[in-house]
Amino acid sequence: MFAPMSAPGPGGRDGSDQVWGLISTLVAGPAVWGAIGYGVDRLAGTEVLLPIGVVVGFVTSFYIVYITQGRDQPADRPPRGRAATRPDSGDDAPP
Nearest C-alpha neighbor of 38 from the set 48, 29, 28:
48
Residue 81 pLDDT exceeds 90: no
pTM for the whole structure: 0.60
Domain boundaries, the chain: 29-69
pLDDT at site 17 = 86
Task: Name the pLDDT band for 19 (thresholds 50, 70, 90).
Answer: confident
**Interior CA angle at 82 toward 16 and 18, to 5°?**
15
Q: Alpha-carbon distance 30 to 87, whole Å? A: 37
Whether 66 has a pLDDT exceeding 80, the answer reads yes
